[in-house]
Amino acid sequence: MCNDILNYFKETGAMLEGHFILSSGLHSEKYMQCALLLQYPHIAKIAGEKIAEKFKDKGITCVAGPAMGGVIIAYTVAEALGVKTIFGERENGTMCFRRGFNISETDNILVVEDVITTGKSVKELISVINQYGATIAGVASIVDRSEGNANIGYPVTGLVEIKIDTYEPGNCPLCKKGIQAVKPGSRGLK
């Protein structure tokens, strides 16, 4: 675990406490708001360099991240590796590459996300990459809160591995206490 990255979360107020609805639909009393962390370019650069260091000898040709959360960190990892970066985004609810982004079967891609809990966005992005026949060199994140349960077909390299309890909406103790839930993530926010 990168204690300095965890310290940056605390220093920037990016480790939130309350009642949150995660993009997976699960509820949690803590939320790692990477947008608050990555608003500081020097911290984004440090996190990107730390991830890149773990993959520097893997022959990466492209770094891909799912929008919205993976865009900034994928960019800083790609910058540190000296390769291009692209991002997948949803169109009519389906993950795809837009904006002229293109990859080929010769690409060796590192998939990067800000936080992985269930791995839903990463799985969707991997599916898109597989349609192009490119190779997945690995999956990395700033925060891995999956506890090894993301089941995305690849091991996750997280700078910070943290256990944060999650609850199904119908079995959430925070809901039962009547605490108002908020959606701090990118899916479903206005």
Residue 190 lies in a domain: no
Residue 45 lies in a domain: yes
Alpha helices per DSSP H over the chain: 3-12, 34-38, 41-55, 70-81, 120-131, 173-176
User: Where residue 35 sits, what CATH number does that domain have?
Assistant: 3.40.50.2020
Q: How far does CA 94 lie from the centroid of its chain? A: 17
pLDDT recorded at residue 60: 98
Find, among 18, 15, 20, the residue nearest to 34 by Cα: 15
Write out pLDDT tens, residues 2-55: 678 999 999 999 999 999 998 778 899 999 899 999 999 999 999 999 999 999
Write out pLDDT tens, residues 96-113: 899 989 999 999 999 999
Is the pLDDT confidence value at 186 over 90?
A: no
Q: Tokens standing for 85?
A: 């970066």
Within 10 Å of residue 132's Cβ, how many Cβ atoms? 13
What range defines the domain where residue 49 resides?
Answer: 3-176
Residue 87 lies in a domain: yes
Residue 182 lies in a domain: no
Residue 62 lies in a domain: yes
Within 10 Å of residue 100's Cβ, how many Cβ atoms? 6
Tally the domains of the chain.
Answer: 1
Write out pLDDT tens, residues 135-167: 999 999 999 988 888 889 998 999 999 988 889
Q: How confident is the model at residue 184 (pLDDT cuts 50, 70, 90)?
A: confident
